[in-house]
Structure 1
């Protein structure tokens, strides 16, 4: 089994306006994930005290990390990270191609290979733009030969992150053509909503998988601390190899409920 958590941490600034890396780490630790996908991570930025947030969170969770800077400003960086308690190898990290005449925040993606049960699972993390024309270009790149359509990508693969795209949108439908969403609710099912954290009604953070894996549970973390720590709520899912007959469910810190 592999438990994956995706979380837009909003530079570790909570809905109360306070900066707390420890609070984000506590929200994650309570779910006991094997792999963590983080978006909106600050590294060395003046606005958040020059901390390496990816390093600090990974250290608190006793995990290794890979960070990709979607944006850099002199010695300051901002981007996405993947953390893991399992052996992990970086396959690729890079930008996602935007529209031809691009204005707005640059976006990127990471791809790692995680070893578990003597086999490997490919895990991708991304954060798409806010506007449909940005998402269209970025999704086309993500779906192309450098990422999702790469011959190196295993059928046992997970794609997660903040897609800024609820079910029913063109971006969501493009992704659904090649991936299966881990949350099994109907498009309007607000149990899968992750934003805004205090009163969530939008399903914009997603975990997707390919046919080499099956989902044994998926839910949004709605604890009081999670509602405070970031403007997004974390989404967590458990995956098993599709050819695995056993249960193999990991004992969670709290009861794990499927969708």
Structure 2
């Protein structure tokens, strides 16, 4: 049996796991390396991945001139014909009947979204949040939490990570936590994640990145900055039992200051 992306699920005692392709991508509100806001370019990059779930950070909804005051989340979901879950971090009212000015995390899914909730994370400065969703699979479910942590300090990130880890309770079974963590996977402040989750990049038997001629950085999974990546801050962490068939840093075609990170998950059936 082969999954929709050519992945052969690992054998299980009852049923084979369900393959799910997931991408996490900090979109820089649709502004690319050329300083242009180009949502069609971003949509083209996302469509080329052929993912089941896409988690996006730095998404604008009627935020202002920098993104042409459009609803990026809705436009991308329509362009890709995917369901949308939205998790604002900034949510400011505007006068009259104008929709609120928002900025945050979006999840696009081919899979049915059964649950969606937003959780404010602790810390000062720019507000941060986590978007938690439960997705329906064939004979299974998958919890996906998407986030974007602060750049202010390791101490604030530590408090945010503790809040994130607490969102995945024991009865939630299969889960994945993804996003821009603004810290490498081995950073001390990510300790609570390492206690309950496993870095998907390290689990993947097959992986690739955009190191190119920089042979000394090959297979390190760097995603930022896009032009010359040397930081692995865009990550996916999986709960016990969730397998990883492959992981890859993708080319963003200049659509953002980050590169997209893709993981091919194997979700246990019947959970």
1:236 aligns to 2:262 (yes or no): yes
1:87 is aligned to 112
2:64 is aligned to 46
1:5–1:33 CA contact under 8 A, matched in 2: yes
* Aligned positions of 1:22-171 closer than 5 A: 22-47=40-65, 48-74=67-93, 75-98=100-123, 102=124, 104-130=125-151, 131-144=153-166, 147-148=167-168, 150-154=169-173, 156-171=174-189
2:240 is aligned to 211
Tell me by how many angstroms 1:168 deviates. Answer: 2.3
The 1:24/1:38 distance shift into structure 2, 3 A limit, reads same
Tell me by how many angstroms 1:66 deviates. Answer: 0.9
C-alpha separation in 1, matches of 2:203 and 2:143: 25
Tell me by how many angstroms 1:171 deviates. Answer: 2.4
User: TM (normalized to structure 1)?
Assistant: 0.84
Tell me by how many angstroms 1:122 deviates. Answer: 0.8
The 1:52/1:142 distance shift into structure 2, 3 A limit, reads same
Tell me by how many angstroms 1:189 deviates. Answer: 6.0
Which of 1 and 2 has greater Rg? 2
2:227 is aligned to 198
C-alpha separation in 2, matches of 1:23 and 1:200: 20
Count of aligned pairs: 232
C-alpha separation in 2, matches of 1:190 and 1:200: 12
C-alpha separation in 2, matches of 1:167 and 1:9: 20
The 1:33/1:46 distance shift into structure 2, 3 A limit, reads same
The 1:91/1:67 distance shift into structure 2, 3 A limit, reads closer
Q: CA offsets, 1:16-68, max 9 Å, x none?
A: 00001111111111110000101000001112111110001111110010111
Tell me by how many angstroms 1:242 deviates. Answer: 4.5
User: TM (normalized to structure 2)?
Assistant: 0.81
2:82–2:108 CA contact under 8 A, matched in 1: yes
- Which runs of no fewer than 5 residues in structure 1 stay unpaired? 245-259
2:115–2:135 CA contact under 8 A, matched in 1: no
What stretches of structure 1 move > 6 A for 4+ residues in a row? none
Tell me by how many angstroms 1:181 deviates. Answer: 0.8
